[in-house]
Structure 1
Amino acid sequence: MSLARSCYLQGPSSSRPRAQGAPRPGRQLRAAVVVASADASGAAPAATASGAAAAVASTTKPADVVTVYFRQEGTSTTARPGEDFMDAASRCKADIPTGCLHGSCGVCEVELFKYEVDPATGEAREAGSPVVMRACVAKVPRGWGRVEVGMMAIDQVWGQDGWDT
C-alpha cells in the first residue's frame, strides 16, 4: 500500500531570496510513505524512509542519471533528466544568483558544457561549444553523460552578464 500526500507552497515571493534548499514558489511537493506487506506470521513491518529510497533507486537506471558539475564551487551531484538545474545546485550548495525565478531577468544565466561519456573507458570528453541558459527554468537534458555549469563573466559596465542588460 502506498500513501501519497501533496501540497502547494505559498511564498517566498520572487523578490525575496529563498532559504538554501527551499523549494521555489508554487512548486508542488510530494511526500510518500512505503508500507511493506505483512509477513507469514501476520505481523506488518513498519514503514521506513529507507524503503521509499530503495523503491525509487530500483526504478532509476544508471543511464537515466546525469552528473552535473558546478565549476565555480568545484562540486558535483547527480540529477535525473528533466530535473531543474536550480534544484541540483541547491543540493550541492552551488551558488547561482537568482532574480525573478521565472526566466525573465537573466540574472541566473550560466554556460552549459556538454560532455559525452565513453561507455568502454568511462572517460568524459567535451562535445560541442557551450550553451547559454537560464538556470531557474532550464532542465537537465536527457542523453548527456556529464554537464558542467559555469558562471557567465561579469560585465564591467552593467554589472551583469551582459547578454540582456
Structure 2
Amino acid sequence: MPRPAITIAWPDGRTTTAIPGQDWLEAARQASVLIPTGCLGGSCGACEIEVNGRVVRACVATVHSSPSGRLTVSLASDPHW
C-alpha cells in the first residue's frame, strides 16, 4: 500500500510534498531549497534543519510521517558554517 504524501512547508514560504522515507536532501533539492552540507555522513552538523521543532541532520535523515500530514522546516544556523 502506498504511503500518503506529506506536505512540507519550507522556510521561504513554499510548500511541496514528499513521501515518508524520502531523503531530506532529495526532498529539498526537488523543492529548489539549498541545505548546506559538509561531510554527508552526519558527523559535522552543517546540514542540520529543524522539522516541526526537532533538529535532524538532513544528510542522514528521511522525511517522516506526521499525524497532521504536514511538516514545517526551518533551516538551522550554525555560526561555524
Q: TM-score range by the shorter chain?
A: 0.7 to 0.9
Post-superposition Cα deviations, 1:101-139, rounded to whole Å, max 9, x if no partner, equal 1111110011111xxxxxxxxxxxxxxxx1111011111
Counterpart in 1 of 2:71?
A: 147
1:93 paired with 2:32, answer yes
How big is the shift at 1:74?
2.3
SS for the counterpart of 2:63 is coil
Percent pairwise identity = 41
Partner Cα distance (1:82, 1:139) in 2 = 5
Structure 2 CA distance for partners of 1:148 and 1:154, relative to 1, 3 Å? same
Counterpart in 1 of 2:23?
A: 84
Structure 2 CA distance for partners of 1:112 and 1:143, relative to 1, 3 Å? closer
Q: Tell me which of 32, 55, 58 is aligned to 1:135.
A: 58
How big is the shift at 1:146?
0.6
Unaligned 5+ runs, structure 2: none
- Structure with higher helix content: 1
Higher relative contact order (CA 8 A, sep 6+): 2
Structure 2 counterpart of 1:136, one-letter code: C
8 Å contact kept, 1:70–1:76? yes
Unaligned 5+ runs, structure 1: 1-58, 114-129, 161-165
C-alpha RMSD of the superposition: 1.7
Partner Cα distance (1:133, 1:143) in 2 = 15
Aligned length: 80
Matches within 5 A, 1:1-165: 60=2, 64-71=4-11, 73-113=12-52, 130-144=53-67, 145-155=69-79, 159-160=80-81
Partner Cα distance (2:59, 2:45) in 1 = 9
Partner Cα distance (2:25, 2:66) in 1 = 19
Question: What is the TM-score when the length of structure 2 is the normalising length?
Answer: 0.85
